[in-house]
Amino acid sequence: MQNEEIIRKINQLLVDEIEIEAAQIAPSADLKKDLGIDSLDFVDLFVIIENNFGFKMKAEEMTEVKSLQDFYNYIINRINPN
């Protein structure tokens, strides 16, 4: 899966499933401060990612994920490990 395709899919999932406004989505956006993703949203996000990308996210791996770009990189690296 191409990186651009992964990013588009993540963005669409954020809009459709987490109800983030499309205008708020930017790589530099802070997941908590700018997008308002709280702990319950993260639980939903873990399930959504597992269902759409086929792998389980681990909370301990998310400690360094702050921005949307960090999140993209995390997903991309799990799908296309180098």
Query: Residue 42: which CATH number?
Result: 1.10.1200.10
pLDDT at 82: 75
Query: Which domain, by its residues, includes 18?
Result: 3-79
pLDDT tens for each residue of 44-61: 999 999 999 999 988 888
Cα 18 versus chain centre, distance: 10
Neighbours of 56 (CB within 10 A): 11
- Mean pLDDT along residues 59-79: 93
Q: What is the pLDDT of residues 1-41, one digit of tens each?
A: 899 999 999 999 999 999 999 999 999 999 999 999 999 99
Structural domains of the chain, count: 1
State the burial class of residue 25 (Cβ atoms within 10 Å of its Cβ: 0-12, 13-18, 19+): middle
pLDDT confidence tier of residue 62, bands split at 50, 70 and 90 = confident
pLDDT at residue 59 in the model: 84
